[in-house]
A and B are shown apart, each in its own frame.
Chain A
């Protein structure tokens, strides 16, 4: 066990956990932040995508000891009242079916748009390719990313 002071969504949280614990389980089990989802545990589905500083990362394979003082942003902290342009675009296009993967999709899309304000179709597909959607909302996601890009 070790103590970690984590900068999450603009606040500092202190946890006492095994240093190998992935950030995903620190969020879900220790901090009651369940918006970040468990899908595969091997960084293959993207359901657990969060931002470390401004980079999209898979929280399921990121040991808490590797976080250091980098800023963590989760779906709960992407915007104060759920009105980030990506979140709004997701609602406008009524993207979710089951909804389980969508937090991860939104976090990946938000990171992409921060880096590339006007991505091409190919750039969107490439950035989003690591995020699985089992219900098949891919075409809607792409449309929503384009809408978000316009409104950023």
Chain B
């Protein structure tokens, strides 16, 4: 048994309180029922007893567990409560899950990003469940006059073996709510788990398949108006003037006006990234009326002036340069190539790479590129706001409620405790909803209209307002001696306007002479985190290069990686290598075994890749068959080390999704610019992967190592692009260096 103190981080998050109605109001008739029956579950409890911020128990034994983090499809709304339920020792059948409101006094890190929800929640969620169980046990011990050490629990029941007494959780809930919160609690051993590690279906599944309102766009309130925005058609432009005479006279239209989303001089944060701060807003009664009026507004635009701002960024400051001008994709490519050939910032250097390259007999040098990408969440950006002089009620899909609460407070001039943010289920996030300018826009519009308003982006607005995945470029060089031994490795990478370098990742630590450099190209195109930021490009580039390097060295691509990892394990180079070589090698060994690597499969072409990011190790093999000169992905096999798997069915689903996402963006998607105008603005020109192009089969294997769980939202996505490129090479004899691999972006849009 593990003893864990219940104070967690800087907050003491376990609080005990009885809900209105009082903890002592349990009636005798309720006590008669010991174990709640399925029939009882058909009726909700008459009373709830809140044990702590994470859970409340009804008098009939039904338990509500709050899911603290935003749900974007990563299934935390099911898997986080599973962790609480495990330690509470409750029957999952009697659990109801609710989305918790934003409450930083109770919950830590209410954020969806970086694949960290489970990893950071692991300890706190277990303690919340274990604390409540301990309080129930103490309540029972007190009621029965027996020592608490003799009390046991099992599936929502409390037992005292010696006296033969038993009670359901519901019966003790009222008394438990008044028990002093224990200072220490015992956590279960992994071998005792009954819920963690078993597949539990999505708690919102029934609602999703029957079309119940769950998403931000579905939110409605009496008297609510609909708002849409008109924004500049090109990066580098801003509003000069607009004519709203026609629009204002159209049916259902309440008002047309200009807003400044953020106020000049207000302090902003990283999540306040915005492309167009001045917007024309149309407000009306219904969506269709507002959509039509939006088209009837004519605007004059003018070019922006260059500017530089500094924003706080996780304890540091980040400088954001916005140059003037109307930019083009062709120019970006030329600028990136020029930068890749100029001097750059050295981020890590081991040994003497320059000397090693000088004495090399063979140098392999290859460059890789990837375009801007739009997140394209299927639910477009939207938010509900009702701002009055006293308070702001904000409801919708947001990955960063904790941060946006502050931004809203600043912008609206209301104290923090008057900003109420409610999280809805999100129709996808992928990083786009980390940047909550749309929340501020909705709030500013509501404040101006003095009415409840729902702001809706059209797909075109959503796709052409930026916050794209940066455009990237990387050059890799490897030096081999006369015996084809790897003696130096060089990565030089950058992007518009950010680099994707993680200098301390493999193969850093495995090569004596190593150099990692980066550069950037300034741009007025706004960018943001996109599922597995940086990794979503650099992993594919690096893994393609390692494949070509293995070929040049005359080695099997898995063997080369394993040899390098062996060196990193036994005699690592440098200090800050941010991976465990053994776990890295572990997923490669597992995939080798599961896929029967090395066997000749008639008509099938295989590529392999492995990567570590967001605390999880992944190896993948893509199998391609050529049919009528077109590649068909027959199968993808993945080996994943994310520690303990909480919910296997959901983990597998998320892994499959990451694989399809990576293949899709690597193969088909791009945002290109002409004179600052995105050439793709909807799904007829911006290509997302479709049913027919998805792998015919996906097989996911998890390493069973019982380590603390890490995340799965991002790590499957990056390496598969490399595995795909390597399989395409086997299938076609051609190396794929430039994403998207399977379409020409110039022909799109």
Residue ranges of A at the interface with B (Cβ–Cβ < 8 Å): 1, 17-18, 20-22, 25, 28-30, 32-42, 44-45, 47, 74-76, 78, 82, 87, 90-91, 94-103, 106, 121, 124-126, 128-142
Contact = CB atoms under 8 A, between A and B. Distances in A.
Consensus secondary structure, chain B interface: loop
Nearest to A121: B696
6 contacts: A20-B288, A29-B286, A37-B379, A42-B683, A98-B377, A141-B691
Given A21-B288, A106-B209, A128-B691, A44 B684 contact: yes
Contacts of A34: 211, 213, 217-218, 220
Contact of A100 (B199, B287, B378, B456): B378
Contact of B202 (A41, A45, A94, A121): A94
B222 to A, nearest CB: 12
Shortest beta-carbon contacts, A-B, top 10: A35-B211, A98-B73, A136-B660, A100-B427, A75-B211, A138-B694, A97-B73, A136-B657, A99-B208, A44-B683
Given A34-B211, A35-B210, A82-B209, A99 B425 contact: yes
A36 B697 CA distance: 29
B658 A136 contact: yes
B208 A96 contact: yes
B682 A129 contact: no
Contacts of A102: 208-209
Contacts, number: 187
A98 B428 contact: yes
B211 A74 contact: yes
A129 B74 contact: no
A98 B426 contact: yes
B649 A135 contact: no
Nearest to A130: B690
A136 B378 contact: no
Contacts of A100: 215, 377-379, 427-428
B204 interface: yes
A128 B693 CA distance: 11
A56 to B, nearest CB: 14
A29 B211 contact: no
A103 B211 contact: yes
Contact of A129 (B214, B657, B690): B690
B167 interface: no
Interface in B641-689: 649-650, 653-654, 656-661, 664, 682-684, 688-689
Given A98-B426, A100-B427, A136-B656, A126 B205 contact: no
Contacts of B689: 136, 138
B407 interface: no
Contact of B378 (A36, A47, A125): A47
A91 B209 CA distance: 8
B653 A98 contact: no
Interface string B690-719: 111011111000000000000000000000
Given A82-B210, A100-B427, A134-B378, A139 B286 contact: no
Given A134-B378, A136-B656, A138-B694, A18 B251 contact: yes
Given A30-B286, A40-B459, A139-B696, 13 more contacts: A1-B251, A18-B288, A20-B288, A34-B218, A35-B212, A37-B427, A39-B378, A39-B683, A42-B682, A97-B654, A99-B208, A100-B427, A135-B661
A30 B252 CA distance: 13
A37 B217 contact: yes
A38 B287 CA distance: 11
Contact of A18 (B206, B289, B459): B289
Interface in B177-226: 199, 201-202, 204-206, 208-215, 217-218, 220, 226
B217 A38 contact: yes
Contact of B657 (A76, A82, A91, A135): A135
B215 A96 contact: no
A134 B210 contact: no
B210 A75 contact: yes
B376 interface: yes
Contacts of B287: 25, 28-29, 38
A25 B653 contact: no
A82 B206 contact: yes
A31 B213 CA distance: 13
Interface in B129-175: none
Contact of A94 (B380, B650, B660, B664): B650
B79 interface: no
B455 interface: no
Contacts of A22: 288
A124 B204 CA distance: 26
B684 A42 contact: yes
B684 A139 contact: no
Contacts of A37: 215, 217, 378-379, 427
Contacts of A135: 73, 428, 657, 661
A136 B208 contact: no
B402 to A, nearest CB: 21
A134 to B, nearest CB: 5
A44 B682 contact: yes
B694 A139 contact: yes
A76 B376 CA distance: 26
Interface string B233-277: 000000000000000000100000000000000000000000000
